Amino acid sequence: MSHGIKKELMVFSGSSNPELAVSVASDLKIGLGKVDLSRFSNGEIYAHYLQSVRGGDLFIIQTLANRVNDSLMELLIMIDAAKRASADAITVIIPHYGYARQDKKTKAREPITAKLVADLLSTAGIDRLVSVDLHAGSIQGFFNVPVDHLTAVAALSDYFKDKKLKDLVVVSPDVGRVKTAKKFADYLGADLAILHKARPNHNKAEIHHVVGEVKGKIALLVDDMIDTAGTVCEAASAVVENGATDVYAAATHPVLTGKAIERLEKSSIKEVVFSDTIPIAKEKMINKIKVLSLAHLIALTIKNIHDDGSVSKLFRGDV
């Protein structure tokens, strides 16, 4: 029992998204914790907390993207170091949960890497996980610790609400994103359309049918992530071919690998809006891209967890 003793709130950052961590700490009006993250000559990762974390309520912010394997290993090492330094509670904040696309077996002899990552984090010793717009909500069930699943839907939809776009139709790029698209449509008071998509290979998509009316309307394509941008650009072409007047896109996670930027630049998409769950390199910041920060949402989540308050009201982004 704590006997009323308040544990010190401490926020630390891995190396994958320090800008977001700095913004979160600033919103909380605390300094970002000091940790030495370096490498041995053979590439092994070293983590050393430069301040006492004994008895602290620790929050480690690390997104699993870009160099995803290094980011994951660094996070595991930071968790282990904090646990061995007698931190009272360790909450990991993973804005983009890596390996989430492999959340089930679709063919024989495949791994379920989303579960493997959950096992690694649990074994390392986390007490809680916070993530944003998981690729599959079922990933929450892979953990035996509390999981707070935040969403960027409110922030993204607010942006488009402020634009006051007329005759708007929200378009889901496939049936798997219909639930998210429906939330956007309801919030914006817009119609809903669905694209029927086939995926013959990883990172390759083919649009076959548009279900719903897009002719004469402004189309807003929504997804949880844009990786190679093949799906969203194919979707943009499909809605334009079916009569859409303008095309916008919104996604929580800007993975943006391969020829993604080239495809977006050449596409009929007028603007692509992301959150800052993954940092975008300067050379990839084309004029079409707009980034909205989730620092305030994450800071409120941290505060509510630390104060034993409700986090569920933040799941919809009602902040």
Q: Is the pLDDT of residue 46 over 60?
A: yes
Q: Please state, in angstroms and rounded to a whole number, the distance separating the CA atoms of residues 210 and 172.
A: 10
Q: What is the pLDDT of residues 57-72, one digit of tens each?
A: 999 999 999 899 999 9
Confidence band, pLDDT 50/70/90 cuts, at residue 174 = confident
Q: What is the pLDDT of residues 77-107, one digit of tens each?
A: 999 999 999 999 999 999 999 999 999 999 9
Which residues, other chains included, contact 111 with Cβ-Cβ below 8 Å and sequence gap of 6+? 102
% of the chain residues with pLDDT over 90: 87
Q: Please state, in angstroms and rounded to a whole number, the distance separating the CA atoms of residues 130 and 96.
A: 10
Structural class in CATH, domain 153-292: alpha beta
Catalytic residue ranges: 197
Asked if 171 and 221 touch (Cβ cutoff 8 Å), the reply is: yes
Tokens of 146: 């509390």
At residue 156, the 3 state secondary structure works out as: helix
Domain coordinates in residue numbering, the chain: 9-151+295-314, 153-292
Pick the CATH number of 9-151+295-314 from 3.40.50.2020, 2.60.40.10, 3.10.580.10, 3.20.20.100: 3.40.50.2020
Q: What is the pLDDT of residues 189-243, one digit of tens each?
A: 999 999 986 655 665 556 558 899 999 999 999 999 999 999 999 999 999 999 9
Q: Please state, in angstroms and rounded to a whole number, the distance separating the CA atoms of residues 39 and 140.
A: 32
Q: Is the pLDDT of residue 316 over 60?
A: no
% of the chain residues with pLDDT over 70: 93
Task: Read off the pLDDT of each residue in 259-278 and give the average, rounded to a whole number.
Answer: 98
The model's pTM is 0.92
